[in-house]
Amino acid sequence: MHAGPHNAITDVPGIRVGHAALTADDALSGTTVVLCPPGGAVAGVDVRGAAPGTRETDLLAPGNTVQRVHAVVLSGGSAYGLAAAQGVMDRLEAAGDGFAVPGGVVPIVPAAVLFDLGRGGRFAARPTADTGAAAYDAATSGPVPAGVVGAGTGATAGGLKGGIGTAGVVLDDGTTVAALVALNAAGSPVHGPTGRLLGARHGLPGEFPDDEVSPEAIGELAAALRRRGTLTPGTATSLAVVATDATLDKAGCGRLATVAHDGFARSLDPVHTVMDGDTIFALATGDRPVPGAEELYALHAAAADVVTRAVVHAVLAATPVTTAGGSWPSYRQLAGL
């Protein structure tokens, strides 16, 4: 196994990613869109958190009619941020990409949101349809910006700054599987006794720093977790999209999303709580054959791995942020990396 050219979800041919963020001084939120190849991709979803904010997830059940989706939107803004999906729908309609119906097309755009309301200082600052359209316009198939961008702009994780992370792998049979994560967890990505990142041991050779964290830095990281303060149900949520070029049906995509949640469990402690609405979408573009049993087993294992690694990349790419709504140090800042 080895990483693809970008070590990102865009290593899956035909997948594009775009970010957009609010620009006002009192705003800290944004939107990320994962665009499928023209004509869409087969999709599934698994919602594990107790406080999800989602759109079009029922449509992804295997027994329901529509087989393909055309984009997946991840957004800040809590339930208000679901409005960003409309902007992506509008752009897809203009491009003629959607589910064909008499007189036109209906783009299928599942979405999920995370909580970041007020983190910039103004509660009403949240993504709109214009934010979703801007993310669509920014989408490319190249390297994916990580850290404090897009849906990760206002994200936090266990008292630290969260953000966007991505990772991918090419399996021995040539299949690519990759993930993009918007990390906004109530739980911590840090192993308290050592100060190291929980998911780092799942990295590819040389992918993550292997430096020991000093006792002073361990104390600073513990203090950041304590400063997180009292938690309120529904005020976190980590999101992910896993994509592969394998051929899977809707049930197969749903199972891929289920196993991919193990990546959250490996890299965050705790996860899937009453504070979180953790949701993972899975996309299959179908450029490669239907996997056999052994190949499918490897694909599932890799899905968990790439989510784990994407969480670590999100933490390492995040930079400190201070606004009228709060202050969040980065892991690198406190760990001295």
What is the maximum span of the chain, computed from C-alpha positions, in angstroms? 66
pTM above 0.85, yes or no: yes
CB atoms closer than 10 angstroms to residue 142: 11
3-state helix, strand, coil in the chain (%, to 5): 30, 25, 45
Q: What is the pLDDT along the chain (337 residues), one digit of tens a residue?
A: 899 999 999 999 999 999 999 999 999 999 999 999 999 999 999 999 999 999 999 999 999 999 999 999 999 999 999 999 999 999 999 999 999 999 999 999 999 999 999 999 999 999 999 999 999 999 999 999 999 999 999 999 999 999 999 999 999 999 999 999 999 999 999 999 999 999 999 999 999 999 899 999 999 999 999 988 778 999 999 999 999 999 999 999 999 999 999 999 999 999 999 999 999 999 999 999 999 999 999 999 999 999 999 999 999 999 999 999 999 999 999 999 8
DSSP for 11-27 reads: GSTT-EEEEEE--STT-
d(CA 255, CA 257): 5
| Cα→Cα distances 293→43, 45, 159, 242, 297, Å | 20, 21, 41, 20, 6
Topology (CATH level 3) of domain 9-335: L-amino peptidase D-ALA esterase/amidase (3.60.70)
CB atoms closer than 10 angstroms to residue 327: 10
- The answer to whether 79 and 53 have CB atoms below 8 angstroms apart is yes
